[in-house]
Amino acid sequence: MLGILLAFMSAFFWATNDIFNKKSILRGYNENFVLWIRFPVGALLLLPVGIYFWDMNFTVFWTTFLWLPSEVVASVLFIKGIKHAPLSLGMPFFAFMPLFSALFGFLILGERISTLGLLGILLILSGSFVITGGSLLSFLRVNRGSLYMLGSALLFGFNVVIGKFAITHSNPYFFAWYYCLIMSLGLVPFVGFREVLSLKNYRNPLNIPMGILFTLGMVTYTAALTFTYTSYVASVERLAIILDVIYGKLFFGEEIKRSFWGALLMVLGAVLLGF
């Protein structure tokens, strides 16, 4: 039960962070810098935690080479999805992540997909049918932001399984700090030294809130993975999609009638898939 509660909290923190991501991009800040800044802020905030709960070991070290490349690419695709699509159209496609994580969980960890899970998959596909008007491929060709989100969901779905393996061989608090530190370094080639060194980027008043919200989401997320199944965490976190759709209406004036019902089906499918 504690793992589910922590996953709920993580969903809230990360969904709320998406508001600040979108607002920063709309203000003209480079999307890759908006993505990057959360990690050094998180590494700084969590430094005392990382030192106190220090648990660096060989498993954490070697698994880094498995998850870091795809995590970096997934994160870049995610922020491009936020840039190129309304929250209410892009974020629902992140509901495919539990589908992918369940698949990889089965292949890597031996976690089985039940009949109820298969029903969940059908609901996810049905929700995407509602949002796209029945033509997923045509929709994705026109709405590349949603396509970016789908690609991001695929890579994150793989990494959540590898991440759980690393966390269970360490501890969630150390790993939260370690993750922020490594991602700070791994994303630099995508951001570019010019953007990292540009003083203009650091004048964004939303940098600190983005860093704090992401850090809170990271700590609660990694802790949740130690208390319950990977697929459970991935499923509960998809409630962030509903929040993002609502945030799209409240903060950006998006039309969400079709997106809301489609996202609701997809999130319900994600929950069934997890359980």
Q: What local confidence, expressed as pLDDT, does residue 274 receive? A: 67
Q: pLDDT-based confidence at 109, cuts 50/70/90?
A: low
Q: pLDDT-based confidence at 179, cuts 50/70/90?
A: very high
d(CA 127, CA 263): 6
d(CA 270, CA 16): 20
H-assigned helices in the chain = 2-26, 31-45, 47-52, 58-84, 87-90, 96-104, 115-132, 136-142, 144-168, 172-186, 188-191, 193-197, 207-227, 230-237, 239-252, 257-274
With a cut of 90, say whether residue 191 has pLDDT above it.
yes
| Dihedral over alpha carbons 94, 131, 213, 220 (to 10 degrees) | -50
d(CA 237, CA 161): 15
- Residue whose tokens read 């923190």: 13
Q: What local confidence, expressed as pLDDT, does residue 121 receive? A: 83
CB-based contact 176:218 (threshold 8 Å): yes
Handedness of CA 75, 81, 87, 90 (dihedral sign): negative
pLDDT tens column, 234-258: 777 878 899 999 999 999 999 998 8
* Percent of the chain residues past pLDDT 70, beyond the cut: 97
154-to-23, 71, 147, 176, 244 alpha-carbon distances in Å: 26, 11, 11, 22, 19
pLDDT tens column, 6-41: 988 999 999 999 999 999 999 999 999 999 999 999
For the chain, the average pLDDT equals 89
Among 45-49, 65-69, 165-169, 265-269, the minimum mean pLDDT is found in 165-169
